Amino acid sequence: MNKSRELRLARRMERLGTETAFEVLVKARALETKGRDIVHLEIGEPDFDTPANIIDAGCDALHKGFTHYGPSAGLPQLREVIAQYVSETRRVNVSPEEVVVVPGGKPIIFFSILALAEEDDEVIYPNPGFPIYESMINYVGAKAVPIRLREEMDFRLDVDELGGLINDRTKLIILNSPQNPTGGMLTKIDIERIAAAIGGRNVMILSDEIYSRLIFEGEHHSIMSIDGMKDRTILLDGFSKTYAMTGWRMGYGVMPVDLATHVARLMTNSNSCTASFSQIAGVEALRGPQESVDKMCAEFEKRRDVMVAGLNKIKGFSCRLPKGAFYVFPNTTKTGWPSKKLADALLDEAGVAALSGTAFGDFGEGYLRFSVANSIENIEKAIERIDKWTKENL
């Protein structure tokens, strides 16, 4: 009898996408082990250390015995602090029962889509946008409906176009501001017009505000703050970007209580709970001194300026000044190279790791994404290398 094993995956796995940043990181590291010097501008995580007061709180929590399971929706003390923080920053009344703490911001995307969308439903999402949205919408068998973000609109979405995409099958609309990968930001008027376009329809909004504290120009506006919208909003925020805590795995969603119980049930079925000591560190992050956030943001702004000015001097590149987050998204159509081929060549031949705009959806063609989570010295090195490469190859 032939006992050879054949992998028989569930068909839905064919529909699950991925996040290219991790693949490019692996490829770049492989080149480094062969002795190549690579400037890493591919990965979306702050290069700063978690502030010391937060690390101390986490260590202290471990010593005090926060090493056990906790409630699936999060420790009450953290849910309370998050409810206060969101109430203040979004000028709404949030109760701890509306908060679900999860390991990172990503699970809120995963759980919201899993809980709400299925076959015959449509989900509208930004494109170019964080790739996990499209991946998850496809995974659950719903129809992924992209709303194109256009450079000429500074990568804000066109609300009239959004209005034209909403129909009776629309179950969920995903917003992301400040935006990954473009750094675009929705204005107060945009948000008000989006709320008006949704009108009285029974549609939920997933508002991904993970970069809400990394803003260089203007103010953050949340659709949750608009009269009548809180009941229809799932707010996603977290600790990864704001407090340089990517490895602690800490994020949260704020949503109507009836949905929160189901999302907590998904937590029970998957992770049981978020790490207890991480949650105690999260209390310190939100309650403790905030200077480190401002310092980090000011540093990202300086780097953004150096990167954008440098890219704009390179043949074939043109780059807008992003208003938030820590990415720049230059237009590279004038190089004549498709984005993926260009990103591969820059890694292989120039030693600069960046992402193809197409890693963020089809409408990312003609762009590259550079993260500025690296030192000014390394950003300048990257600019020099790209400049030299373009002079030799274009």
Interface positions with ligand PLP (CB under 6 A):
44, 104-106, 130, 176, 180, 208, 210, 238, 240, 246, 251
Residue (74 or 105) nearer to ligand PLP, CB: 105
Run of H or E including 161: helix 159-165
Cβ closer to ligand PLP: 246 or 358?
246
CA dihedral 86→88→90→95, nearest 10 degrees, is 50
Tokens, residue 63: 């010593």
Residue, CB closest to ligand PLP: 104
Tell me the closest approach of the beta carbon of residue 133 to ligand PLP, in angstroms: 8
Residue whose structure tokens are 């006992």: 3
Which residue's CB is nearer to ligand PLP, number 90 or number 241? 241
Number of separate helices (H) and strands (E) present in the chain: 12, 12
Asked if 183 contacts 297 with a C-beta cutoff of 8 angstroms, the reply is no
CB nearer to ligand PLP: pick between 225 and 240: 240
Q: Which is nearer to ligand PLP, 135 or 240 (CB)?
A: 240
CB of 208 to ligand PLP, least distance (A): 5
Measured from the CB atom, is 166 or 236 closer to ligand PLP?
236
- Minimum CB distance to ligand PLP, residue 337 (Å): 25
DSSP per-residue codes, 52-78:
HHHHHHHHHHHHTT--S---TT--HHH
Of 183 and 310, the one with the shorter C-beta distance to ligand PLP is 183
Smallest separation (angstroms) from ligand PLP to the CB of 3: 41
CB of 363 to ligand PLP, least distance (A): 16
**Peptide bond just before 256 cis, omega within 30 deg:** no
Contact by Cβ (8 Å): 164, 380: no
Least CB distance to ligand PLP at residue 38 (A): 20
Instruction: Provide the minimum distance between the beta carbon of 224 and ligand PLP in the complex, in angstroms, as a whole number.
Output: 16
Residue 215 vs 383, nearer CB to ligand PLP: 215
Q: How far is the CB of 111 from ligand PLP (least distance, A)?
A: 12
Q: In terms of CB distance, is 251 or 324 closer to ligand PLP?
A: 251
Beta bridge partners of 235: 207, 254
CB 329 within 8 A of CB 319: yes
Whole-Å CA distances, 329 to 178, 258, 356, 393: 13, 39, 10, 21
Q: What is the end-to-end Cα distance of the chain in Å, rounded?
A: 59
CB 180 → ligand PLP: shortest distance, Å? 4
For the stretch 89-94, contacts whose Cβ atoms lie closer than 8 Å and that sit 24 or more positions apart, written own/partner, are 89/212, 89/220, 89/222, 90/222, 90/224, 90/225, 90/235, 91/225, 92/224, 92/225, 92/230, 94/254
Preceding amide of 178 cis, omega within 30? yes
Contact 276, 67 (CB under 8 A): yes
